[in-house]
Structure 1
Amino acid sequence: MDDKIKSAESSAPDAITEKPFGEKSLDVRSATSGSDVEKQDVRAGTTVQLKRKLQSRHLQMIAIGGTIGTGLFIGSGGALAKSGPAGALIAYAFVGTLVYSVMVALGEMATYIPVSGAFTVYAARFIDPSLGFAMGWIYWFSWAITYALELTASGLIIQYWAPDLNVGIFIGVFWLVITAINFLPVSFYGEVEFWFASIKVITVIGFLIFGICIDAGAGQQGYLGFHYWKHPGAFAPYLITDNDSLAKFVGFWSVLIQAGFSYQGTELVGIAAGETANPRKTVPAAIRKTFYRIVFFFVFTVFFIGLLVPYDNPDLLSDDTNATASPMVIAAKIAGVQVLPGIINAVLLCVVLSAANSNVYSGSRILVGLADERSAPAILKRTTAGGVPYVAVACTAAFGLLGFMNESSSGGTVFNWFLNITSIAGFISWTCINISHIGFMRALKARGQSRDTLPYKAMWQPWFSWYGIFFNSLIIITNGFTAFIPWNTSDFFVAYVSLLLFAVLYVGHKIIFRTSFVKPVEADLDSGRKEIEEMYFEEVTPTTPWGKFWAWIG
């Protein structure tokens, strides 16, 4: 890598410019052509050679696709049943602000040090190596187990059309397809995710238009307006029977936790930054628009579901994973529209396959980051000529085979316990990202570097990160409160086993390796950015209506 930089410097001396960071960096735009840049290896941390082949459009749609999933298409129905239309809307909007606090914090770090492993690396560098270790392993385990879950869900969704077919067939077929895609160069992952995310976006936009029409009177019910906000009501009581106000608050708080699960995946932007062309430009663009996506796709969808479906509709509490459990389908059924279930089921299949694709990608890159920080075996850093960490991909994809455990009742019980362990891994990661950002800002201050010199500056800091830390921690602590109403030992253990595992990983690593907290003045702010400060790719301004549409979405 050093030879490449020296060669570029000698061939284009005018390309070396002083950056605000006080480092000399190579402006590849003036030194090489776009095709030459694409051939260069880019280091993550200091050792792992990956390729920056994800383009701006890929990252923009990964940011959307990582969020829109079964939590929105199916889980929002349970949220409506527990807290009512107003309670669900407020809960999703509030958690959206927590997500945004995490995203802007991650964006500031990921644009300054765009490395593979992303936030686990930041936790180890700016706070404590033990924190990075515990955070990275529980996050990886979450994605690896979720991969098996998504493969199982794909089979259950297909059974909507062919109920006699065995789920195991589709677990095997989709495992081969998704795993094979992740062994290809990262641009293939980006392209597949781009089109999967496009289907999600079109579906949500279509549902919003459908919701406006039905609420205005196009359905068999006639004009609805806010009828269901009055009858049966805007807030639903939950669990508590002798105190209506407390029961409605309990419903709201339970959905607050559920909404967080629905939003998980937004942090994929930070992971993908390590393989994104010109992250100093593309990552901030994705981060800035995260808030608008949250409002447009999540909050508006939950709002219209609350207008079209009463919270006491029994179908909302279905345990199915196919289209029959989707509140969108329930809304169409109430309105007398018969064609929607099959379409939504096809979209749900795309949703779970997209999620499975992201599971393997993100899990493998987290392993790379852990290995680069010496928190995992060094063999996980091995890459192909195309920059794919094939060992890390294989290790993550292997966990997808656990989906076959659902073929037996006893195996399914064990599989469910694995899922319970990962239940709040996303909240733990969000909290650690905000904590890492506080450490990052302190490290900059200790170095005497102003945040005004950063390629992307997060808003309302440090208060916004502290805001995220407080409420994410509160959700983690209270996520099992329903186990107390009434007391249920099993539910209590299920709710807090992941937090217990995180604590064991952290304390165990701290005792064995005797790590100490990182002093701000000693924090590593250079590894991963000093080799090549910036890389640039030509961005073509879209001229066709279709291209302009995706540019607007992204």
Structure 2
Amino acid sequence: MSSEKESTNKDAEAKVPHHEGTNSVSGSGKDVEAGGAELKRGLQAHHLQFLAIGGTIGTGLFLGSGKAINTAGPVSTLIAFIFVGVIVFSVMTSLGEMASFIPVPGSFTVYASRFVDPSLGFAMGWIYWFSWSITFALELTAAGLIIQYWDASLSIAIFITIFWVVFTAVNFLPIRWYGEFEMWFSSIKVVTIVGFIIFAICINAGAGAQGYIGFHNWVHPGPFAEYLVLGATGKFVGFWSVLVTAGFSYQGAELVGVGAGETADPAKAVPSAIRWTFWGILSLFVSTIFFIGLLVPSDNPDLNLGKTDASASPLVIAAKLAGVKVLPDIINAVLLTAVLSAANSNVYSGSRILVALTNEGHAPAFIRRTNKIGTPYVAVGITSAIGLLAYMNLSESGGDVFDWLLNVTAIAGFITWSCICICHMRFMNALAHKGTSRDILPYRAPLQPYLTWFGLFFCVLILLTNGFTAFIGEFSTSDFFAAYISLILFFVLFVGHKVIMRTKPVKLADVDLMTGRIQQ
């Protein structure tokens, strides 16, 4: 087993524990290196929290929630978001138990290779990296479209260029500076949601043009909406389709684990970030969905406009119904910060996953090189370069190709969550096999192993059924492949790596629980 350098746990600039040799179970190679520098532990617990918030709260909540309520109705959508929140809780607590014990860059990609199978780490890591890097291109495009709300004559190419340069530069900053930048950016979204909740309470109580609303919109047009088919079946179809949408909205919460390898005192910071991030995101999501459902009828035609600026936001629609005219411009500005904050997180998370892939021998070693301030500049550069695919949207044919690339990333989050649950079960089995009590862990996930099994079951179920609407009515080949292309690609990567590299599942006796471990 490869040796390790112990973390001091006290110095915010302490070096990340890493492999020194090439004989670990995971097949990891040498250190993240260049000029003697390594990734630095410059993030604090509050940085981790806002990193996850920045990657999670975005257009899915500010724009996608309106279409969800239109599809399934206010109560059905609320139940869906609460239920998926429980799934997220199971995933995050599982990740927190592992990441606080072995806080390495890219965490779950490393765990998949060490605990389960190198091929699983390879497939999971690459599809997760591609998901975030192509999403970076999406956010750059969305930023341009949002700005066109104020001036449609401006080309989105201008803003793709400006924001690409800005966020590439930000990700080359020392990790502490990056953490502060992301914290303030994400704070804008949190303040906006809290402000909307206060606004919604006032409007619902009768301060708006509609007078007292109460739960009127839950009665007319009703709490549940039919989707694609009529009757109770149609209401269930609506609920299940929104369950998938809710899952997409929550994706990014796992970024707490991605940043664990650059966190000072991860034994304390990671569990704290896990708890605060989960409850913060859940409360903000559920509260927003609840009040949108109270203020906006689910059959309001504006909920399904399909636009990408403030006019399609249910927050703006609620303000218009209440007779408040100044809010659209404010919401559009917040949408812009939400998109830009997500773009910032995209480059960070993608680059750290690349570092994890190189550490596990799944990518060329030069990618993990860092500069003197601990920035993995090659990984940042490669991830950021994928964002230039945003220029494809300047032509119609290029836009079609870009849409298909996005389809590849559509359910990468569910694949990652499923793999995290598998890794956690393997982690617990390895501890038991080696006679190590879970009592020594800095953080112990509750209700184990039942909660992890719960998360795995529903993540896999959603993965397998996310394209079920393609089978309702006339079969849609394009909808089918759009729904399942990422899952197909995952299995191609897994099987291809296993055949070429001839890997075998890691035996329990050989699971590496030492490399990168924080010593208590």
**Which TM bucket (shorter chain)?**
over 0.9
- Match of residue 369, structure 2, among 378, 382, 400: 382
**Pair 1:514 & 2:488 matched:** no
Match of 1:112 in 2: 101
Q: CA deviation at 1:318?
A: 1.5
Preserved contact between residue 467 and residue 479 of structure 2 (Cα < 8 Å): yes
Q: In 2, Cα distance between the equivalents of 1:148 and 1:331?
A: 30
Q: In 2, Cα distance between the equivalents of 1:465 and 1:377?
A: 33
Preserved contact between residue 197 and residue 291 of structure 2 (Cα < 8 Å): yes
Q: In 2, Cα distance between the equivalents of 1:397 and 1:38?
A: 26
**Pair 1:319 & 2:306 matched:** yes
Q: In 1, Cα distance between the equivalents of 2:177 and 2:421?
A: 31
Provide, for residues 484-520 of structure 1, a one-character-per-residue CA deviation record: whole Å limited to 9, x for no partner.
Answer: 1221111111111110000000000111111111111
- Match of residue 336, structure 1, among 319, 323, 326: 323
- Structure 1, unmatched stretches of 5+, are 6-24, 30-36, 535-554
Preserved contact between residue 44 and residue 116 of structure 1 (Cα < 8 Å): no
Match of 2:257 in 1: 270
Provide, for residues 315-368 of structure 1, a one-character-per-residue CA deviation record: whole Å limited to 9, x for no partner.
Answer: 101111111111000000101011111111011110011111010000000000
Within a 5 Å distance, the mapping from 1:420-431 to structure 2 comes to 420-431=407-418
Match of 2:140 in 1: 151
- Match of residue 224, structure 1, among 201, 205, 213: 213
Quick one: which amino acid aligns to residue 364 of structure 2? Answer: P
Match of 2:120 in 1: 131
Quick one: which amino acid aligns to residue 311 of structure 2? Answer: T
Provide, for residues 497-544 of structure 1, a one-character-per-residue CA deviation record: whole Å limited to 9, x for no partner.
Answer: 110000000000111111111111210011112xx636xxxxxxxxxx
Match of 2:175 in 1: 186
Q: Percent identity?
A: 63
Q: CA deviation at 1:215?
A: 0.7
Match of 1:88 in 2: 77
- Match of residue 248, structure 1, among 221, 235, 238: 235
When residues 68 and 28 of structure 1 are mapped into structure 2, their CA distance, relative to the original with a 3 A threshold, is closer
Q: In 1, Cα distance between the equivalents of 2:170 and 2:491?
A: 35
Q: CA deviation at 1:407?
A: 0.5
Preserved contact between residue 126 and residue 439 of structure 1 (Cα < 8 Å): yes
- Match of residue 279, structure 2, among 292, 312, 332: 292
Q: In 2, Cα distance between the equivalents of 1:405 and 1:45?
A: 40
Match of 2:346 in 1: 359
Match of 1:552 in 2: none
**Pair 1:496 & 2:496 matched:** no
Q: CA deviation at 1:304?
A: 0.4
Match of 2:453 in 1: 466
- Match of residue 69, structure 1, among 28, 45, 58: 58
Provide the secondary structure at the position in 1 that maps to 2:17.
Answer: strand
Q: In 2, Cα distance between the equivalents of 1:189 and 1:142?
A: 21
Q: Which segment drifts farther, 50-59 or 258-267?
A: 50-59
Match of 2:16 in 1: 42
Q: In 2, Cα distance between the equivalents of 1:270 and 1:342?
A: 35
Q: In 2, Cα distance between the equivalents of 1:413 and 1:42?
A: 42
Q: CA deviation at 1:26?
A: 6.7
- Match of residue 402, structure 1, among 377, 386, 389: 389
Quick one: which amino acid aligns to residue 190 of structure 1? Answer: G
Q: In 2, Cα distance between the equivalents of 1:341 and 1:54?
A: 35
When residues 444 and 409 of structure 1 are mapped into structure 2, their CA distance, relative to the original with a 3 A threshold, is same
Q: In 2, Cα distance between the equivalents of 1:119 and 1:295?
A: 22
Q: In 1, Cα distance between the equivalents of 2:113 and 2:125?
A: 10
Q: In 1, Cα distance between the equivalents of 2:18 and 2:50?
A: 23
State the aligned residue count.
503
Q: In 1, Cα distance between the equivalents of 2:46 and 2:481?
A: 42
Q: In 2, Cα distance between the equivalents of 1:417 and 1:433?
A: 26
- Match of residue 483, structure 1, among 450, 457, 470: 470
Match of 1:202 in 2: 191
Q: CA deviation at 1:192?
A: 1.2
- Structure 2, unmatched stretches of 5+, are 21-30, 33-37
When residues 26 and 220 of structure 1 are mapped into structure 2, their CA distance, relative to the original with a 3 A threshold, is closer
Q: Which segment drifts farther, 65-74 or 397-406?
A: 65-74
Q: In 2, Cα distance between the equivalents of 1:338 and 1:373?
A: 54
Provide the secondary structure at the position in 1 that maps to 2:373.
Answer: coil
Q: CA deviation at 1:28?
A: 5.6
Preserved contact between residue 123 and residue 436 of structure 1 (Cα < 8 Å): yes
**Pair 1:523 & 2:511 matched:** yes
Q: CA deviation at 1:239?
A: 0.5
Q: In 2, Cα distance between the equivalents of 1:379 and 1:76?
A: 42
RMSD value over aligned CA atoms? Answer: 1.6
Provide, for residues 462-489 of structure 1, a one-character-per-residue CA deviation record: whole Å limited to 9, x for no partner.
Answer: 1111101100000000000011122111
Match of 1:533 in 2: 519
Preserved contact between residue 7 and residue 16 of structure 2 (Cα < 8 Å): no
Provide the secondary structure at the position in 2 that maps to 1:525.
Answer: coil
Q: CA deviation at 1:85?
A: 0.4
Match of 2:154 in 1: 165
Q: CA deviation at 1:296?
A: 1.5
Q: CA deviation at 1:197?
A: 1.1
Q: CA deviation at 1:38?
A: 3.9
When residues 26 and 103 of structure 1 are mapped into structure 2, their CA distance, relative to the original with a 3 A threshold, is closer
Provide the secondary structure at the position in 2 that maps to 1:50.
Answer: coil
When residues 63 and 39 of structure 1 are mapped into structure 2, their CA distance, relative to the original with a 3 A threshold, is closer
Q: CA deviation at 1:63?
A: 2.9
When residues 250 and 45 of structure 1 are mapped into structure 2, their CA distance, relative to the original with a 3 A threshold, is farther
Quick one: which amino acid aligns to residue 369 of structure 1? Answer: A
Provide, for residues 369-423 of structure 1, a one-character-per-residue CA deviation record: whole Å limited to 9, x for no partner.
Answer: 0000000110111001111111111110000000000000111010001001111
Provide the secondary structure at the position in 2 that maps to 1:43.
Answer: coil
Q: In 1, Cα distance between the equivalents of 2:492 and 2:52?
A: 32
Q: In 2, Cα distance between the equivalents of 1:196 and 1:112?
A: 29
Preserved contact between residue 13 and residue 42 of structure 2 (Cα < 8 Å): no
Quick one: which amino acid aligns to residue 496 of structure 2? Answer: G
Quick one: which amino acid aligns to residue 240 of structure 1? Answer: V
Q: CA deviation at 1:56?
A: 2.3
Q: Which segment drifts farther, 40-49 or 113-122?
A: 40-49
Q: In 2, Cα distance between the equivalents of 1:85 and 1:527?
A: 48
Provide the secondary structure at the position in 2 that maps to 1:177.
Answer: helix
Provide the secondary structure at the position in 2 that maps to 1:172.
Answer: helix
When residues 64 and 420 of structure 1 are mapped into structure 2, their CA distance, relative to the original with a 3 A threshold, is same
Q: CA deviation at 1:314?
A: 0.5
